[in-house]
Structure 1
Amino acid sequence: MKQAPLVQAKNLHLTFNLFSPESQPTVAQFLESLSEPVAEAALTPPAVGEYWPGQGGIYGGLRLYPEGLCHVIFAAQDVGMHAFGDHGTEVEATSQIDGRANTAILVNRDGSHPAADAAYAFTCDGHRDFYLPASGELYHGYLYLPESFEKAWYVSSSQRSASNAYSLDFEGGWLYNSHETYEFLVRPVRRILQ
């Protein structure tokens, strides 16, 4: 007769680090590092539109991304008004789905992209993986969290041309290709693989 295993592990991640005596972590730090993958695997989101404690913002529901189905978390506040920037230069930040990929392109260029820089620099609840949302991610916020945004224009990380980038009006839901030097509100976003 076949017996079930005593312990089952789902998505078990082990990391071994060799420490020099002077940099050895405390027992508490070591135990905390062991619990990180388990804590991520056991995330239970709140209702859409509610602040997700410890996750840096307002829960926006699920969206499909290149890496799979992800929880979307919008920062609870804007980080000012900024321009897309670098007017006259065409860049590869054209995805209307993946703002994280767009933001990586923008912040790693030599040109100036103030909106992407502001979103990328945002931190909350210890998370440093925020980015400037793509036009589709902004529209997701408009559809599911309209009360969490100002009734104003927001800039996206999706470039339309060398002179224009997409922005979204949270009063009427209009997506428009605006001049890259116009300043609009910036709302950082992050995501977690489900």
Structure 2
Amino acid sequence: MNARAQLTPPAIGQVWPGQGGIYAGIAPARNDQEAYHLVIGAELGRFEWGPYEVDAPAKSLIDGLSNTKALVEAGEYPAANAAAAHQADGHSDFYLPAAAELYEAWLNLGSNDFGWCWSSSQRSANGAFVLLFGVGLQSSNGKHDELRVRPVRRLPIQ
């Protein structure tokens, strides 16, 4: 199989063979980021987001990869650490999605009821953005609560 065929996505909502999860569609180009394919991995369990009353280094609403790298480097962020440690189908480039990436996955996957999921986007020193799959409700939640982690990875559009 050639490299181009390997990057041909399945229908949205289907497992993308060899890519570590379900194809969640295309995340559009925003700011200086190019558009990319978004793959959402299996639920890893429930984790705290990170320290309460601490201003975290995860400021982007659109770039979960940079948020996750910053949170992992800072060390005390269980949800980001779990997402970054995830491996599937030989891939180890998973991360905790930003608020916009989670919302984009919901827009494309719609009725999949994954429950409340953490994003990597901090809302305040006490909270981070979350999304309730199934209904698409975005909110913020206390960082000390344990919510689901669904890691994602991105693939370039060829």
User: What is the TM-score of this pair, normalised by structure 1?
Assistant: 0.74
CA apart distance, 1:60 = 1.2
Q: CA deviation at 1:96?
A: 1.1
How far apart are the structure 2 equivalents of 1:188 and 1:40? 24
**Quick check: 2:111–2:135 contact (8 Å CA) kept in 1?**
no
Residue 94 of structure 2 corresponds to residue 130 of structure 1:
yes
The alignment status of 1:180 with 2:116, answered yes or no, reads no
Larger radius of gyration: 1
Greater shift in the superposed pair: 130-139 or 163-172? 163-172
- Displacement, 1:41? 8.2
Runs of at least 4 residues off by over 4 Å: none
Deviation at 1:164, TM superposition (A): 0.8
Deviation at 1:171, TM superposition (A): 3.6
Q: Which structure is richer in relative contact order (CA contacts within 8 A, separation 6 or more)? A: 2
Separation in structure 2 between the aligned mates of residue 47 and residue 186 of structure 1, nearest angstrom:
23
Runs of at least 5 residues in structure 1 that lack an aligned partner in the other structure: 1-34
Letter in 1 for 2:148: L
Q: Contact 1:46/1:52 (CA < 8 Å) preserved in 2? A: yes
Q: Is the 8 A contact 1:67 1:193 kept in 2?
A: no
Q: Deviations over 1:110-163 (max 9, x none)?
A: 4x111001111111110000000111111112111134442x211110001111
* CA distance, structure 2, for counterparts of residue 84 and residue 93 of structure 1: 11
**Contact kept? 1:72, 1:192, Cα under 8 Å:** yes
Hey, what does 1:92 align to over in structure 2? 57
Across the two proteins, how many residue pairs are aligned to each other? 155
- Aligned alpha-carbon RMSD (Å): 1.8
Q: Percent of aligned pairs with the same residue?
A: 44
Find out whether 1:49 has 2:49 as its counterpart.
no
Question: What is the SS of the residue equivalent to 1:59?
Answer: strand
Unaligned ranges ≥5, structure 2: none
SS at match of 2:68: helix
Matches of 2:134 and 2:37 in 1, distance apart? 25
